[in-house]
Structure 1
Amino acid sequence: MAPKGKGILSFDGFAKTVDDAKIKTTSGGLITLGCIITLIFIVIGDWNKFNEVIIRPELVVDRDRALKLDINLDITFPDLPCDLMSLDIMDVSGDYQVDIANYGFTRVRLDENGNEIDKSDLKIGDDKVDPQEDLPSDYCGPCYGAKDQSKNDELEQDQKVCCNDCESVRKAYATVSWAFFDGKNVEQCEREGYVERIKSRLNEGCRVHGTAQINRINGNIHFAPGASFSSPQRHVHDLSLYNQEGDFSFRHTVNHFSFGPEIESVHSSDLKTSSNPLDGLVSNEGGKNHLYSYFVKVVPTRFEYLNGTVLETNQFSSTKHDRPLGGGRDEDHPNTLHARGGVPGLFFHFEMSSLKVINKETFGATWSGFVLNVVSAIGGILTVGALLDRGVYAADKAIRGKKDK
């Protein structure tokens, strides 16, 4: 009969050696210390990876197309007065936001050296005197033929067609595509000091910053000279004063341009930089009759942070193109021909992506992954150490055997 338990003993994969058969060597001690030091470094690296916060991206279909999108911009124009500029938004649905100064934008007047003069609302004529001050209650200003006022005598006061201030006359002229110039000889503009103000500011620059809301569809936001007017068939600007006076241009510096809230997570600093690729861009090329265009591809983005906070924002890529309005061949690429015509200005053409990127903050490894890595490291280092020790011991034994002969 076989000894008790002998069947189980045959499965023992960890056979023990007798203590008297163990031999300790100096090389074995050095290899052991090396293994311990290596293991410490590996465990520290796995621990750092376990505590590291990373972002894992995921791509899904954007289902929030009905929401509005914020555009944040801060742009400096060193060669263009604030009073000569209009800011409009258009999209493919036919929605127009003309002269969007009323949507929270701020202008900062700049002197010839780029220093700030004062701040005010972007709306042209914002610092004029009260247009109704010292005027009779039944006053109805002339529109100088830009609007039909022939039937005013037959209408009540609140139904009359009137242009009671300089801004009303400017818009009336824009509606019929008439040149307004600087408002000289226009009663309302002379009374409000608009003419003198425009003349005194022709050598200034302008910095515009603020936020506007747009539909989440393709469109553009643009800076152009003069008052603008939009209809289903056209969108025009009054270029009369821009063409008549000064050495103006739309040379610019993009201090900041983004869509939606800013990325605030400390772990997303690299993504924050890549999400606003136009920040700090300077465009000094071109002259008075030059068109600057940026073609922007907007990708909705969600950040889900470890603390449970969810941030809905956007990332975008951009391609720049500029051309002279006179058209002709490109100086740098003679085979390239530019189209002729257009409006001088700065245009941002945006295209909305139908996909959304979801960035989730997570730790670099789980507890189970960390433990498994440590165990694997211990086993691997001990195995390699044992093989190295046997090799060194065998080599040392062979060398000693030759010397003893």
Structure 2
Amino acid sequence: MGVKQAIKRLDAFPRAEEHLLQKTQSGAIVSVIGLVIMATLFIHELRYYLSTYTVNQMSVDLKRGETLPIHINMTFPSLPCDVLSVDAIDMSGKHEVDLDTNIWKLRMSSDGHIIGTEFLTDLVEKGQAHDHSHSHSHGHAHDHGHDKHQPEDSKDEHGHKDEHGDIKDKHEDSKQKSHLQSFDEETENIIKKVKQAMANGEGCRIYGVLDVQRVAGNFHISVHGLNIFVAQMIFEGSNRVNVSHMIHDLSFGPSYPGIHNPLDGTVRILRGTSGTFKYYIKIVPTEYRYSSKDVLPTNQFSVTEYFSPMKDFDRTWPAVYFLYDLSPITVTIREERRSFLHFITRLCAVLGGTFALTGMLDRWMYRFVEMVMKPNKRGAI
């Protein structure tokens, strides 16, 4: 046996005889169907190869001395902009009242249209400057919802209520009346302006970025920036403060593909009642690494919500609190691409499998047609 004959025996694709090669209409239909299937699978595999997937890794958070950006975009439909303030406090003891750096607000009409813009300012700076001592003696209700606007009932060393508490309350009421009478004309005009805005159903949209220290703390939006006496003149009681709100966006850093901020789109509307909303947030430091090797530092978070309704004897002022804490673990999300060899392997599998399946289907159809046609031929003879 010659070398050529030995090589020919290795041919895995022997040629059939010419008379055995017969083209049929059923074979053409199966071929067209097979080509469509193979083209569809090829496009699918190509898109799968060009897409990226993510791999998550966890490690200890080693960041130090950095700030935490808080992106806020909220609407308060029942409170005008002049009475709202953004306050922040953290575990390091840093306490900021009525933050105005990179924080803006939009005046909203009762039907939700923008009617004016202005920079966040403290309505009662004038009132506080008018009587600075009263402002510090009564303070502001900032510490996790504990009320500092009014003095608490005095108690003795055993915790029993002082019998002179009612006398002291009456004394405070008389001091309040005398203080309100001492407001200058400008402050009274501002109070009238705010009351008119509330009568018109004005709301406020607050947006911007807070840069806070990277430690646990809270920020809240409320009327705590107001002087206590001015607040009483405007609302005639804390249970009349309606902190209904809509959270359009609340995030702790830039967005990355696939991020989910659980508070986005939150709507909390109060009707005939008042109270304090508290959102307990757990922040997870996150790094998103693109396939281009660019790194995006950001944060994702989970949240638990709690609402505390106001009661007649409560002395706290309603607010919306966001109490946050940071996880010691950093999550790294890395984009990966599939290898080219993986793409070729899958492509050969789907195309070869489709070709083999259509070949089997063609043979079955040909034999079926033969079985149907042969009896007819015999009957004709």
Q: Do the structures match in fold with TM over 0.5?
A: yes
Residues in 1 aligned to 2:149 and 2:364: alpha-carbon distance in whole angstroms: 96
Q: Would you say 1:356 and 2:330 are equivalent positions?
A: yes
* Cα distance, 1:360 vs structure 2: 3.7
* Cα distance, 1:287 vs structure 2: 5.0
Match of 1:198 in 2: 191
In structure 2, relative to structure 1, the CA distance for the partners of 1:226 and 1:378 (3 Å cut) is: closer
Match of 2:70 in 1: 71
Which of 108-117 and 18-27 deviates more?
108-117
Match of 1:396 in 2: 369
Residues in 2 aligned to 1:341 and 1:167: alpha-carbon distance in whole angstroms: 22
Q: Which has the higher helix share?
A: 2
* Cα distance, 1:218 vs structure 2: 3.3
Match of 1:317 in 2: 302
Residues in 2 aligned to 1:389 and 1:18: alpha-carbon distance in whole angstroms: 19
CA contact (8 A) 1:225 1:239 kept: no
* Cα distance, 1:222 vs structure 2: 1.3
Match of 1:377 in 2: 350
Matched residues, percent identical?
A: 21
In structure 2, relative to structure 1, the CA distance for the partners of 1:203 and 1:362 (3 Å cut) is: farther
Which of 74-83 and 385-394 deviates more?
74-83
> Partner of 1:80: helix, strand, or coil?
coil
Match of 1:174 in 2: 138
CA contact (8 A) 2:180 2:229 kept: no
Structure 2 segments unaligned to the other structure (5+ residues): 141-147, 151-174, 198-202
Match of 1:282 in 2: 267
In structure 2, relative to structure 1, the CA distance for the partners of 1:397 and 1:106 (3 Å cut) is: closer
Residues in 1 aligned to 2:291 and 2:132: alpha-carbon distance in whole angstroms: 54
Match of 1:257 in 2: 250
Residues in 1 aligned to 2:347 and 2:224: alpha-carbon distance in whole angstroms: 69
* Cα distance, 1:351 vs structure 2: 3.2
Match of 2:45 in 1: 46
CA contact (8 A) 1:86 1:224 kept: yes
CA contact (8 A) 2:194 2:234 kept: no
1:46 is aligned with what amino acid? E
Matches within 5 A, 1:337-348: 342-348=316-322
2:59 is aligned with what amino acid? V
* Cα distance, 1:290 vs structure 2: 0.9
Structure 1 segments unaligned to the other structure (5+ residues): 132-162, 229-237, 329-339
Structural RMSD (CA): 3.7
From 213, 216, 237, the counterpart of 1:215: 213
Give a deviation string over 1:134-184, Cα, whole Å, max 9, x none.
xxxxxxxxxxxxxxxxxxxxxxxxxxxxx9x33744542335957596963
In structure 2, relative to structure 1, the CA distance for the partners of 1:382 and 1:77 (3 Å cut) is: closer
Residues in 1 aligned to 2:17 and 2:44: alpha-carbon distance in whole angstroms: 37
1:282 is aligned with what amino acid? V
> Partner of 1:56: helix, strand, or coil?
strand
Residues in 1 aligned to 2:72 and 2:211: alpha-carbon distance in whole angstroms: 12
* Cα distance, 1:69 vs structure 2: 0.9
Residues in 2 aligned to 1:6 and 1:213: alpha-carbon distance in whole angstroms: 82
In structure 2, relative to structure 1, the CA distance for the partners of 1:184 and 1:342 (3 Å cut) is: closer
CA contact (8 A) 1:286 1:324 kept: no
Match of 1:295 in 2: 280
Q: Would you say 1:184 and 2:180 are equivalent positions?
A: yes
Match of 1:104 in 2: 102
1:219 is aligned with what amino acid? G
Q: TM-score, normalised by structure 2?
A: 0.72
* Cα distance, 1:347 vs structure 2: 0.9
* Cα distance, 1:16 vs structure 2: 3.8
Which of 311-320 and 4-13 deviates more?
4-13
Residues in 1 aligned to 2:180 and 2:312: alpha-carbon distance in whole angstroms: 33
* Cα distance, 1:383 vs structure 2: 1.0
CA contact (8 A) 2:245 2:269 kept: yes
Match of 1:26 in 2: 25
* Cα distance, 1:201 vs structure 2: 1.5
CA contact (8 A) 1:220 1:350 kept: yes
CA contact (8 A) 1:65 1:216 kept: no
In structure 2, relative to structure 1, the CA distance for the partners of 1:112 and 1:174 (3 Å cut) is: farther
1:368 is aligned with what amino acid? L
Residues in 1 aligned to 2:79 and 2:30: alpha-carbon distance in whole angstroms: 75
Match of 1:154 in 2: none
Residues in 1 aligned to 2:11 and 2:377: alpha-carbon distance in whole angstroms: 39
> Partner of 2:184: helix, strand, or coil?
helix
2:43 is aligned with what amino acid? I
* Cα distance, 1:70 vs structure 2: 0.7
In structure 2, relative to structure 1, the CA distance for the partners of 1:200 and 1:288 (3 Å cut) is: farther
